[in-house]
Structure 1
Amino acid sequence: MKRIAVLGFALESNAFAPPCGRADFEQRGTYRGAEIDREARAEHPAIYSGISGFYAEMDRRYGRSGWQPVPVVHAASQPAGPVEEDYFKGLLAEFEAGLAAAGPLDGVYIAEHGGATATHTHDPDGEVFALVRRAVGPDVPVVATLDLHANVSDVMMDSVDVLVGYRTNPHVDIFERGAEAARLLEELMAGVRPTAFRVRLPLVGPSVTLLTADGHPYGDLIRLGQSKLDDRVMNVTILAGFAFADTPKNGMTVIVTTRDDPALAKRLAVELAAAGWADRGRYVPRMIGLDDAVTQALAAGADPMSPSLLFADPADNPGGGGRGNTTYILSAFLAAGVHGCIAGVFFDPALVEQAFAAGEGNGFRADLNTRETARFSDPLSWDARVVHLHDGRFVGRHGMVEGKSVDLGRTAVLALDGVTLVAISKRQQCLSSDFFEAFGIDVAGARSIVVKSRGHFRAGFQHLFPPERIREVDVPGLTSPNLANFDWQGLPRPVFPLDPDAAWAPPS
């Protein structure tokens, strides 16, 4: 019987956002011991999907009685600022104690994000990986899954046998990558020797340029990488990284892992990196201004026969550390008299409290951002009517939340003249039409929609909005795709496209 430890730490850290700690991880999801087993195999799990995929594949290959999971702790937060040192060190202590108590292990699966920083270090993910390696020794196979926005350090590479990155953005393959990690771990336990080579490019693509659908440069590069898989090549992972972590390890990273063929790993990694660098000119964002967004929303509202439009606010993406409550688009649409618009999800627990106090069907003066102190989260007051109140829990049907349990906290649907606003109590991005439909809102009948999301929404709205009806709006925020807006401290310079003259040459 194979005994496999399961653990992980999932955080994407924005250096310009407030730090996060225990409350953030408890709210998003911290699972210990048997809780991990139960959630991984639940019909509608809330836990990280990679763990569910790993369990499902191990169950399929070995049967539930043929392997023994040794679940330790998995802690995940919504993207935020750096993790607080005291909380993180406490989590490390839990990992260490759990592995020490586990006894002999045949393997370890680390369900990580890879884009974290901490108040004391730019590489907390490396600290997790190094701790695991120290705890289990040099001979126990260790595999880890990583988000496409992971920033990979030398410590991360040296501590883990195989790093498995997602292949899709929006990330609709997390379950599958967990299953892949299980298959690769089985190979390692059977004696296969992995050999990996990594190349980092001075390429930090703005978030809106990192989609993986056909016609997008990042997707084209990932597909090229997958075409190299064969009996010798066990994994090709190409990580765009997360710019806002602002660390020395930023930069698009190509990792090729072979079955005991280090020369091939190096040759392919350099080949793929060169292809990515040659295509760098496509990693330049193209957004519309706020005035144009207002004009187009007004036109859509005035002509019911015209195609409806979806406006994304990538600069205030909670999925990248944004607060999910800037009012630039909302206030402009209200001031202009836009009608037939739905907007969300807007993170403002105080506003939700106001709505619950007023009660369904009643009007009140909605005061937005009364408790918010973060940069860009300006206040706004507007007359509102409470359309619907809800506990915020539902099971998703589309995109990244399909089949998943979702909890937005207490939720209020508010009518602000021609804009219907969904206000929530637990900060997260708008991932799909479920985030409106769960509260009785007719998304298909809306003339325009505004979502607080960078790109993951595309998977959850693709049944309603093809790419040609989506607009990314250039407004301020903690996750603005205009990288020149930020005071970078750790980002290695020069990098493209922030520095158009950045250069790269393949390693000798």
Structure 2
Amino acid sequence: MTFRVAIAGFQHETNTFAPQKATLDKFVRGEGWPALTEGAAIYATFEPMNIPIGGFIAEAKKKKWALHPIAWAAAQPCAHVTDEAFEHVVGKIVDGVAALQGRIDAVYLDLHGAMVTESHEDGEGEILRRVRAVVGPDIPVVASLDLHVNITEAMVRYSDALIAYRTYPHLDMAVTGGRVARHLEQLLTGERSKQAKALRKLPFLIPLTAQCTFIEPCRSIYETLGQMELGAVSSLSFAPGFHPADIRDCGPAVIAYADTQDAADRAADALARQIAEREGEFRTRLLSPEAAIAEARAMIRAGASKSVVLADVQDNPGAGATCDTTGLIAALVAEGVPDAAVCALYDPETARLAHQAGEGATLEIAIGGKLYTDHGAGPFRHRFEVARLGDGKFLCTGPFYRGTQAKLGPQALLRIRNPESPQGRGVDILVSSTRMQAADKEQFRQLGIEPGQRPILGLKSTVHFRGDFTDIAHEILTVESPGAFIERAETLPYKHLRSGIRLFPQGRVHAG
């Protein structure tokens, strides 16, 4: 049977403690993700990508559904989405759905789940409320969600199904879109009646570095979750949450859908209980830059044949950081590391100066440290060689960004030579004109670096880099250097978070 489905997307992961807001121009440009896309252009842009709407489109085409693409927009994580940006994009989506009234059987939305705007603490809840107000109670409204969603009661109330990713790194974004399409088909064909819902919030915040599904406890939790979708239970999601969002409903949650309320409640309770029993395992190990470098050098001396990866997690633009802090860079230089590469420092002005100077030129300038200056962060001044220049255009080939056509603007590879380097190198710094977290090897290759040939790699990413860099990593060390994404939630000045939740697994309780 041919069903008619309106499709759209609006994604933002909001770090309310970050220094920059998500303005309309960020969504129009896309910032490392595709620019604001409307109408039929959505097919060509997203079908080749590892993105939920692409997976939904692929599955819907197999079923020969008639799709009505409206609009899709995203920007790199940062602080609140401005009212102008929110109203502009949501206006396009809601007006598009309204124009299709009487001609659609369902609505699919590609959402993130952790959007906070200047006027709405629960951005996705407001989007879903507006769409529901247009289509009424009988048209199914379904959405895919990021694993880092902060699920709210409003999101659950105004939708018929919310289905979240099950991998971090998010290797299953397109797969999740396909899962949503298959779930929607059951609702449209009557194979399943309107589903009962059960939401359970967990009483502790989980650090992002402990949410990786390549390691325990998340690896086995998600394996178990998939096995629990049996019989009356149609869908089950575990969202570990996004802790740098100062909102009431911040934190991990479980949501279940089933044929009966009893089945939904039992499934949600069982999964929530399993997660709660493993609370103490959600631990994270953070090292100072100097300690991480010392460990890396010891591994190299011991004969490590692969790269040691230093994850600069607190300056990860994928979690709302500015991507312009220099703590790890300064430490690599101060410690005399003979061969390392760091990806990527956001500094459009430095990239412009490098292009003006040309390859082979020498610049004595201060780089980075222009946006985030707290806790001793600031620019790093040194003498740099302009080793390579690029235009920032390349195709991502790794499993996370797969299919993304990066358009990052002028880029430069700046080199601080170390006379003790047998390769004649030292510390290489990739400087970019657009924020994009270091999660794809092509980010290095397009500036002439084969990442697996460098003993030490510094990556501005929290977990997503593991999807493409694990195979070349001897060891991965998590670095705690100043940045706008604070991994230790217990140090954040929450004002709106609900009282009674623990700020760290088995840690102190937030008094509100």
Q: Which amino acid letter does the alignment assign opposite residue 470 of structure 1?
A: I
String of CA shifts for 1:36-60, please: whole Å, max 9, x gaps: 133233x4x4xx7111100100111
> What residue is the counterpart of 2:504 in the other structure?
498
| 1:381-460 matched pairs, under 5 angstroms | 381-417=381-417, 418-460=426-468
1:73-92 correspondence to structure 2 within 5 Å: 73-92=71-90
User: Aligned partners of 1:206 and 1:444: how far apart in 2?
Assistant: 28
CA distance in 2: counterparts of 1:370 and 1:354, whole angstroms: 16
Distance 1:480 1:416 in 2: 29
TM-fit CA distance, 1:298: 4.3
SS of aligned partner of 2:63: helix
**CA separation of 1:299/1:500 partners in 2, compared to 1, >3 Å: closer, same or farther?**
closer
Aligned partner letter, 1:463? D
Structure 1 residue identity aligned to 2:292? A
Contact 2:147 2:241 in 1 (8 A): yes
Q: Check the 8 A contact 2:490/2:503 in 1, yes or no.
A: no
CA distance in 2, matches of 1:102, 1:14: 34
Tell me if the contact between 1:298 and 1:339 (Cα under 8 Å) persists in the aligned partners. no
Letter in 2 for 1:204: L
Distance 1:249 1:399 in 2: 31
Counterpart CA distance in 2 for 1:374 and 1:74 is 33
Partner of 1:242: 242
Name the stretch that deviates more: 121-130 or 217-226.
217-226
Q: State percent identity of aligned pairs.
A: 29
- Name the SS of the counterpart of 2:452 in structure 1: coil
Aligned to 1:482: 488
User: How do 1:197-212 residues align onto structure 2 when only pairs under 5 Å count?
Assistant: 197-212=198-213
Query: Which residue is 1:337 aligned to?
Result: 336
CA deviations on 1:184-207 (whole Å, 9 max, x unpaired) are: 111111122211111001121011
Aligned to 2:60: 58
Distance 1:421 1:365 in 2: 14
- Secondary structure class of the residue paired with 2:497: coil
2:378 is aligned with 1:378: yes
The answer as to 2:101 corresponding to 1:99 is no
Q: Partners in 1 of 2:468 and 2:288 — Cα distance?
A: 24
C-alpha displacement of 1:371 = 4.5
Distance 1:449 1:210 in 2: 22
* Pairs aligned (count): 492
1:470 aligned to which of 470, 476, 482: 476
Which stretch of structure 1 is more off in the superposition, 112-121 or 483-492? 483-492
Shift of 1:305: 6.0
For 2:27, the equivalent position in structure 1 comes to 25
- Alignment partner, residue 421 of structure 2: none
CA distance in 1, matches of 2:505, 2:276: 14
CA RMSD across the alignment = 2.0
Are the equivalent residues in 1 in contact too, given 2:209–2:462 (CA < 8 A)? Answer: yes
Give the 3 Å change call, closer, same or farther, for CA 253–303 of structure 1 in structure 2: closer
The correspondence of residues 123-134 of structure 1 with structure 2, limited to 5 A, is: 123-134=122-133
Contact 1:6 1:71 in 2 (8 A): yes
Which residue does 1:351 correspond to in 2?
Answer: 350
CA distance in 1, matches of 2:87, 2:402: 34
Aligned 8 A contact 2:367 2:379 in 1: yes
Asked if 1:365 corresponds to 2:364, the answer is yes
Separation of aligned partners in 1, 2:71 and 2:416: 43
Letter in 1 for 2:169: P
Q: Counterpart of 2:422?
A: none
Equivalent in the alignment of 1:172: 171
Matched-pair contact (CA < 8 Å) for 1:203–1:497: yes
Alpha carbons 1:4, 1:68 under 8 Å: kept:
yes
Quote the Cα distance in structure 2 between the aligned partners of 1:303 and 1:291: 18
Q: Does the CA contact (< 8 Å) of 1:322 and 1:477 recur in 2?
A: yes
| Contact 1:348/1:424 (8 A) holds in 2 | yes
Task: Give CA-to-partner distance per residue, 1:199-240, whole Å, 9 cap, x none.
Answer: 001121011000112x41123222221111123211110001
Structure 2 residue runs of 5 or longer lacking an equivalent are: 418-425
Alignment-mate amino acid for residue 357 of structure 1: Q
TM-score by length of 2: 0.92
Shift of 1:242: 0.5
| Alpha-carbon displacement from aligned partner over 1:292-338 (angstroms, at most 9, x marks no partner) | 12323445676776653110011111010001111111101111211
Q: CA deviation at 1:373?
A: 5.5
Q: 1:363: Cα distance to partner? A: 1.1
CA contact (8 A) 1:202 1:502 kept: no
Cα 1:300–1:282, aligned 2, differ >3 Å: closer, same or farther?
Answer: closer
| Contact persistence 2:344–2:459 (CA under 8 A) | yes
Displacement after TM superposition at 1:407 (Å): 2.4
Q: Which residue of 2 aligns with 1:154?
A: 153
Unmatched 5+ stretches in structure 1: 504-508
Conserved 8 A contact 1:5-1:70: yes
Superposition TM-score, scaled by structure 1 size = 0.93
In the alignment, the residues of structure 2 paired with residue 316 and residue 445 of structure 1 have an alpha-carbon distance, to the nearest angstrom, of 24
